[in-house]
Amino acid sequence: MKSKAVVFTAPGQLELREVSLRELDAHDVLVETFWTSISAGTEKMLFTGRLPKMQMTQYPVIPGYETVGKVIQIGSAVPEDYLGKFVYVSGSFGYTDVNAAFGGASQYIVSPYHKTTRLDILNDVSLGLALPLAATALHIVDLAAVAGKRILVLGEGAVGLLVCDFARLFNAELIAATDLSDFRLSKSSAHLRINVAQTSLSDALGTTLFDVIIDCTGSMAAIEDSLRFLNMNGTLVLGGYYERIDLAYHFAFMKELKILAAKQWALGDLERTLAIMANGKIDFKRIFTHYSSAWNGLAKAYETAFYDSNCLKLALSWKAE
């Protein structure tokens, strides 16, 4: 079977290309994609050639791990009630002529059914696009153990916004958030919001100290600037993706700092996140600020997602034009 897919052909180059799907086996489903969204972190690093060299990251490669679609065909071992259901898919390796990192930006996707997440409990299945970022934010907040603590969140992109939302939900005592953009900060649920392009942390925070710093910027400079506001034996949670960790050691030494790296989500986090989505206590849809078609203007859509500071998340529609 053939499918149209977004393919990164070389650093800085992309196209909508016809690719070949492998045949379904007994445990596979075939998903017709309705929406994918673009990651401005990992996918941008893949697009610019900055991800570690592995087979799955070699060009030509299909990006994408934020996909929602409908199951239109099932293998013989798949429960029959999967047919016609909307699911979240975190990518696919089901291609025969192109690499996949992570393979979700495709019109059709072949995936083992147990690697999909059904969206039956959502009234609005498009919310499933927020599932991977939200589950990642949930995992970060779990690592931070925020209840009753003072939390400083660096960066109010999509993940940082959701980190603040979950920290509020799980009873953090105080949440302060930083960013360079008033637009991003305006969407934040933090108690204290600081535009560090206009106000220094020292002026904004004074002598306030925090139990946990959560970084969602990917910037070592931003992290290092914040560490003096950490309590003794405080925790730094790394919620971004970093080419290198490069921090002045004396901060870690003087504070007896604990550093935790958040990979993604933990087992069960997708289901927990779905339940929170269904109860409506957090506005997950507000992180989608831009929309585009997968069938035209693709280069402009990725440029916007990667480089427009007012774009939190861009969603691509694969519905027929």
Count of domains observed in the chain: 2
Query: Mean per-residue pLDDT for 205-209?
Result: 97
Q: Are residues 243 and 145 in the same domain?
A: yes
Q: Are residues 177 and 236 in the same domain?
A: yes
Alpha-carbon distances of 106 from 61, 198, 224, 291, rounded to whole Å: 11, 42, 39, 17
The CA distance from 116 to 281, in Å, is 24
pLDDT at 129: 96
Helices first, then strands: H and E counts in the chain? 9, 17
Query: Mean per-residue pLDDT for 150-170?
Result: 97
pLDDT at 321: 56
The CA distance from 83 to 102, in Å, is 24
Q: Are residues 167 and 136 in the same domain?
A: yes
pTM reported for the whole predicted model: 0.93
**Beta-carbon contacts of residue 283 (< 8 Å; ≥ 6 apart):** none
Task: State the Cα angle at 216 between 211 and 218, rounded to 5°.
Answer: 115
Task: Residue 34: give its domain's CATH number.
Answer: 3.90.180.10
What's the token pair of residue 236?
Answer: 């730094």
Work out the pLDDT band at 241, boundaries 50, 70, 90: confident
Residue from 192, 162, 157 nearest 175 by CA: 192
pLDDT per residue over 171-181, tens digit each? 999 999 999 99
Write down the H helix ranges in the chain: 42-47, 131-144, 158-169, 182-186, 201-205, 220-226, 249-255, 269-279, 298-307
What's the token pair of residue 14?
Answer: 């992309």
Residues spanned by the domain of 174: 132-261
Q: Are residues 144 and 189 in the same domain?
A: yes
The CA distance from 35 to 257, in Å, is 41
Query: 241 or 7: which carries more pLDDT confidence?
Result: 7
Work out the pLDDT band at 258, boundaries 50, 70, 90: very high
